[in-house]
Chain A
Amino acid sequence: MNARLRAAALAPAAALMIATVAVPFVVLAAYAFQTRGAYGGVMPPWTAENWLRLADPLYAGILARSFLAAAVSTAFCLLMAFPLALAISRAGRWKNLLLALVMVPFWTSLLIRTYAWMFLLRDTGLVNSLLMKAGVISEPLPLLYNWGAVVLGLVYAHLPFMVLPLYAALERQEPHLLEAAADLGARDWQAFWRVTLPLAAPGIRAGVLLVFIPCVGTYLIPDLLGGGKTILAGTLIQNQFTAARDWPFGAAVSLALMAVVLTLLWIEARRREEPLL
């Protein structure tokens, strides 16, 4: 392809990436090394103080907790998505319809889906109302405004992201491999464990990445479902740019988060020897 045409094709995207990814990150990096003004804002002198603050157990703990919450949510997501993806891949001519139906919640707003859980989990919400009507409990269960609700919200929001790559990997598997395993005397569970699962590994890796990374930086779900009792990385960053008005520190936390995410991605890309895209 001639170079000018190619340059023309790439130009708009490249310009956008420079303007909205490269430059902002440079600006953020500049902020991260400056000091907070008396009532907010960013000012010289240049300092490494914000980065040193990250070593403070309070903030390091918040980052660590974000990774833990993301890991737990990803694990649950994987456990739930796998049977669903497997079932769809074996559904014959209903495959595409089922897949589209699984994707429909994804297409709807995260805000709406999270609000649905607020609606369900409140003390006077549907879950508690039904349980109480059925006589299972006499007092409403504290289902909302805690870690459990946050993890549930995260799993629910990201389930379609896990199902898709798993389905893609499972669908490509040849059914005759399973037949061969059966012929060799393997039972269902053994065939699953030794044939299906290893072959699905690339799908699992992709799904885990697609879920873990957004979960690490999540803001909206803990905000709505956590009741203000938890602080995760996303909330911390948002706080710095609104309530606390400490832009330099907020910038430092953002960049630290990005650094960890990019490192994880880089390790994964090296293992696969392919770029992400």
Chain B
Amino acid sequence: MNRRTLLLFPALGGLAGCLRPGRLRLNVLHWSNYIAPETLPRFERETGVQVRLATYESNEEMLARVFSGNSGWDVVFPSNYFVGPMRELGLLARLEHGRLKRLDGLEARFTKPSWDAELEHCVPLYWGASGILANPRQGPAPQRYAELWELRFARRITMLDDPAEVYGAALKKLGLPLNAHAPAELRRAHEEARRQKPLLRAYLNAEARDLMAAGELAACQTWATTAQQAISAAPHLRFVYPEEGFALYADCGVVLRESKRKELAHLFLDYLLRADAAAEVASTTFTATAVRAARERLPADVLAMETLFPAEETMARGEWFEPLPPESQRLRDRLWTELKSS
């Protein structure tokens, strides 16, 4: 009997976790790196709603899970350039602004964003940039994307495992717009990426952070939040906003059309717009917040992080990612496959 009892305990525990009769539930699919320890427990305490959380590492992973329209998730957080395509696919519910009382707490640049001017479908919550994280102990930190093509970095750099980011860097190196999508432009970017590939250790996302902190890499292309997390672990590291220009993204909360708990979903989004919740996420996970009032609550050292809150002149060099037209998307997918197989 003993072995069976041993099996039963965790099984019952798991089951009990799933079925707590009478409690409202909300299913949230979130990026793996922006949930602060207190974010969910506080929401659960204040509202009595039990939140079921799962995380993802990339927009594609998230989309694959909600694509079917029967996934069971209520709230997800696509990046700004995914909002348009998800809307076209009919996955998003229209937001009821009446339920989002704190929407006007957003910073000016996010109240009428280019990807959803009336904020009909999304609530921008966190934003960031991608750039170069460098280890000055292994040589002068690169200031431009072009330097990541130099032989001195052979095998000691990584790029993000994301076609938009890799080709984006190549396009900036070529002096083209970040969102250039004409076939000729994409092919030129592809050629540049191919020339760079032999220099790369690997195409890595968050894995590169630990490699940088351990001193295995001289530089890597990464997101500002990941970079700040690395810098907090290894203060000698530096994050650079490339001179040629860089990509900006904003992660927005959306309510899925399939959701049967839309009021709760709105309640959750409104909660994330609260100054205290937003400030907590920003300061514990090192993410720039889109909520104006949260900035005032941030500790001075977080506010001073150039990584998260770059100066205005720096911001001027940034471009928001935009979704590609379907044909260009197909071309880029194919080029990416070619790049990976070369």
A residues bordering B, Cβ < 8 Å? 36, 38-41, 58-59, 61-62, 65, 122-124, 140, 142, 144-145, 226-231, 235-236, 239, 241-246
Contact = CB atoms under 8 A, between A and B. Distances in A.
Interface stretch (B125-133, B194-202, B283-291, B293-301): B194-202
Contact of B67 (A140, A226, A229, A245): A245
B340 A228 contact: yes
Q: Most B CB atoms within 10 A — which of A36, A38, A41?
A: A38
A241 B326 contact: no
Interface stretch (B58-66, B110-118, B219-227): B58-66
B216 A142 contact: no
A229 B216 contact: no
B105 interface: no
Contact of B64 (A140, A226, A230, A242): A242
Contacts of B201: 142, 145, 227
A123 B340 contact: no
B67 A243 contact: no
B72 interface: no
A131 to B, nearest CB: 15
Given A39-B88, A243-B163, 8 more contacts: A38-B326, A40-B63, A41-B89, A62-B341, A124-B216, A144-B202, A230-B341, A245-B64
Nearest to A226: B202
Given A58-B338, A65-B341, A239-B337, A123 B216 contact: yes
Question: Size band of the B side of the interface?
Answer: 20 to 34
A235 B201 CA distance: 19
15 contacts: A36-B330, A58-B341, A61-B341, A62-B337, A124-B215, A124-B216, A142-B155, A226-B202, A228-B203, A229-B203, A231-B341, A243-B333, A244-B333, A245-B63, A245-B67
A227 B67 contact: no
Given A243-B333, A244-B333, A227 B204 contact: yes
Nearest to B335: A58
B333 A246 contact: yes
> How would you classify the secondary structure of chain B's contact residues: helix, strand, loop or mixed?
helix
B85 interface: yes
B40 to A, nearest CB: 26
A227 B161 CA distance: 9
Contacts of B203: 227-229
B182 interface: no
Contacts of A38: 88, 326
B340 A230 contact: yes
A97 B326 CA distance: 59
Q: Most B CB atoms within 10 A — which of A36, A124, A245?
A: A245
A135 B326 CA distance: 55
B181 to A, nearest CB: 15
Contacts of A246: 330, 333
Interface in B284-342: 326, 330, 333-334, 337-338, 340-341
Interface string B199-215: 01111100000010011
Contacts of B202: 144-145, 226-229
A140 B163 CA distance: 29
Interface in B63-88: 63-64, 67, 85, 88
A84 to B, nearest CB: 32
Interface in B139-187: 155, 158, 161, 163
A58 B337 contact: yes
A257 to B, nearest CB: 16
Nearest to B85: A39
A242 B60 contact: yes
Contacts of A241: 64
B69 to A, nearest CB: 10
Interface string B211-241: 1001110000000000000000000000000
B173 to A, nearest CB: 20
Given A242-B64, A243-B60, A245-B67, A140 B337 contact: no
Contacts of B161: 228
